Structure 1
Amino acid sequence: MKRLLPALLITSLASAVSAEEIQSVMVWHDSDRAPVTDDYRFAPGTEIYVFDMALQRQAEARMNSDLGKRGLAFGPDIGSNQARTKDALRRYMSTEDFEEVSRELKAFGYGMSAAMQYRIERVPSILLNERYLVIGVNSVDEAVSLFLQEVN
């Protein structure tokens, strides 16, 4: 995998690649701290994956808030009444709120797994065609422009 940085572009590709030839795009961002705008129109059939690395933090905050509304707060005294804690958690786990948190945590896990597979260490990162990585750019359009400048 080649890394494309806004200031320093490194690649060695002999053939020219056009935007129509971009087959896949993977975006890792943090919607709270470093969001990436999806401002580029790809050809039909292009696989686009967006992984929000803020999902874990957001899901944990939502779960703590949901449990707090149900009278269960996490603190040093949580172990003092284990039966009440287990009962509250069991009831919460059967709610739609928990299902939503669970979906968010799974989505975060998929993003983290893909980040590990492609050795993504920072966000925002945009991976084109599973080979060209643009780091530190908050616009898909700008990432594609950098990619095209480098390969053409």
Structure 2
Amino acid sequence: MAAIRRADTRPEVIIRRGLHARGLRFRLHDKKLPGRPDLVFARFRVALFVNGCFWHGHDCPLFRWPATRTDFWKTKIMGNVARDLRNDAQLSALGWRIGVVWECAVKGPGRQRTEQMLDELAAAIRGTAAVFGFQGLLSGTDRVVRAAD
């Protein structure tokens, strides 16, 4: 567990480099905002999270319940999911737009084409959707973006 990183994960660094190359400027891990978003685009009032599929209980091929200590892990992961929902609600109440990039969008067998995903992510950040997200390819679906205004 000590080797698990909270910040500067490989998917997060890929997203940061790609968005910076597309002219977007951001702050990292702003402690003043609920949930301490991975990237904060103050100009666009967007809080972006780069979530690991295992730690945040994402229903994708990268997530599997551990075979041992199942009660502990279910409590831990479901607590993380509940905390994410609370943080999203608090950010929305403060007038922030919320973006989530799931680990499976960047790595794994169902990952998206990185350049195309980064272009679409940059457009979503500059856009007006209150909530947006990117995840890996699931069940033959090309790209999943959830947006709600």
Question: Could you tell me the TM-score, scaled by structure 1's length?
Answer: 0.29
Question: Could you tell me the TM-score, scaled by structure 2's length?
Answer: 0.29
